[in-house]
Homo-oligomer: A and B are copies of this chain.
Amino acid sequence: MRQSAERGTRERILEVAEASLGEHGYHGTRLHDIAHRVGIQKASLFHYFPSKEQLYRAVLDEGFGHAEQTIARVLASEGSALDKVRALVAAYVDMVAAHPARTKLLLRQSLGDAPSGYHSADSERLLRQVASFVTEAQRQHLLAPIDPLGIVLGVVGMVAFFFTSAPVLAPNWLPDPWGSASIERVKRHVVSVVERCLTGGGAPDDEAAALPAQPSTVQPSR
């Protein structure tokens, strides 16, 4: 909206910062490194972002925004409920594989990497959108009645884990973690798992607990 020179540098900073924050976490990231990799001096960063924390938030917002767009696009597409589920998984896997640093960053954030409790309402809304879609399809008996949010959270965690942690824990499983062969393999695997969980088959997995929101039994004082 303003100077054209500023835009380019700002975006490069965000890009490099995402990589660095994903790789080393908030506290492990050095502003000096970011500046160096961008090709400017550390002090120049403060012309674009007033503090490390604000840079962090900017990177985070961009990551969530991108994810939200992707999800919304797939949910709005055509096809059966099961088709959409497959498409959601595929899109999510593609996104994770295309942006490993961003994925690490979001994982770290949910582990509590933030300086102070920076809590994004975006993540909740995003998950609810997908879970609601599953719930609705289940109400119409298009999908098997397994705990919807459980499945969604499970897939999110599983896929993220495949691409971020698995290469460290089991380097032989995905020999080339971000190659297209690995992406397709994970996609097939996860789609397979999800299909087995969301189609016909087995016992209805405690329908009672499927969408409680306020189970009345908890809060053991401690």
Chain A residues with a Cβ under 8 A of chain B:
23-28, 104, 107-108, 110-113, 119, 123-124, 127-128, 146-147, 149-151, 153-154, 156-158, 160-162, 164-166, 168-173, 175-176, 179-182, 185-186, 188-190, 192-193, 195-197, 201-203, 205-206, 209, 213-215, 217-220
Contact = CB atoms under 8 A, between A and B. Distances in A.
Contact of A168 (B110, B154, B160): B110
A196 B192 contact: no
A205 B192 contact: yes
Work out how many copies of this chain go into the complex: 2
A185 to B, nearest CB: 6
B209 A176 contact: no
Nearest to A127: B170
Which of A124, A182, A196 has the most CB atoms of chain B within a 10 A radius of its CB? Answer: A196
Contact of A165 (B23, B27, B111, B162): B111
Contacts of A182: 218
A193 B190 CA distance: 12
B112 A220 contact: no
Q: Which of A189, A201, A203 has the most CB of B within 10 A?
A: A189
Nearest to A152: B170
B188 A205 contact: yes
A164 to B, nearest CB: 6
Given A24-B27, A188-B205, A218-B181, A164 B111 contact: yes
A153 B163 CA distance: 11
Contacts of A111: 25, 104, 107-108, 164-165
Given A160-B157, A173-B153, A218-B175, A165 B107 contact: yes
